[in-house]
Amino acid sequence: MKIALINENSQCAKNEIIFNSLKTVAEPLGHQVFNYGMYSAEDPNSLTYVQNGILAGILLNSGAADFIVTGCGTGMGAMLASNAMPGVFCGLVADPTDAFLFSQINAGNAISMPYAKGFGWAAELNLQDVYRKLFELEPGLGYPKERAAIMAKNRGILKDVKAKSCKDMLTVLKEIDQELLKGAVAGPKFKEYFFANAKDDGIATYIKSIVG
């Protein structure tokens, strides 16, 4: 599985801690981790939480990533922005219990974390425990187990409702503010990671027209 990390401007100084914690857990499980930034407080390619959501939508809908790890100060803004995109199912995750329940019940494809709330001593240990609960088990097995079938049915209903209530991603990319979009894909590693992994030719072609 390809996992993409996206940090926004208010919490970008924590990118290295978050990235290293994610790699420590995910790579031994056979996953690839791609750091889309922001990389530091000095990173000139600033991302807002709204742009985090746009970038999450681009990566998931193009197939360039299978799972998104994002967040902001409270985690709520990045969650809302991500869920505004078609095909993105993002949960607010603060601790390992949240991570386990989101994985087993909701089986979404993105999480948003509150990097300013409770991010203190040994924060990297909480991050590692969160990622372990997200990625060590097959998602969607259900909790409690006897409700697995109804949970799977509800996920399918939600997916169908979202598909009918959202425009497709290419249309979204064409209709949103183009300067906002350019900022979302301006990171120094974006072109390297995205074009090597994107599977949707339409989205990839449009993004290429934006980034050159």
Using the predicted structure, report yes or no on whether residue 35 has a pLDDT greater than 90: yes
Length of the chain: 212
Q: Residue 128: which residues within 8 A CB-CB, separation 6 or more?
A: 21, 24, 25
Does the predicted model carry a pTM greater than 0.95?
yes
CA-based angle 48:182:59, to the nearest 5? 75
What class does CATH assign to 2-211? Answer: alpha beta
**Hey, where are the domains in the chain?**
2-211
Closest CA to 95 of 75, 113, 83, 69: 113
pLDDT tens per residue, range 40-89: 999 999 999 999 999 999 999 999 999 999 999 999 999 999 999 999 99
pLDDT at 212 over 90: no
Listed residue (97, 106, 40, 46) closest to 79, CA to CA: 106
Could you tell me the end-to-end alpha-carbon distance of the chain, in angstroms, rounded to an integer? Answer: 28
pLDDT digits (tens, 9 = 90+) for 122-167: 999 999 999 999 999 999 999 999 999 999 999 999 999 999 999 9
CA dihedral over 139, 195, 69, 80, signed as positive or negative: negative
State mean pLDDT over 99-124.
96
Instruction: For residues 169-173, give the mean pLDDT.
Output: 98
Quick check: 115 and 18 in contact, CB under 8 A? yes
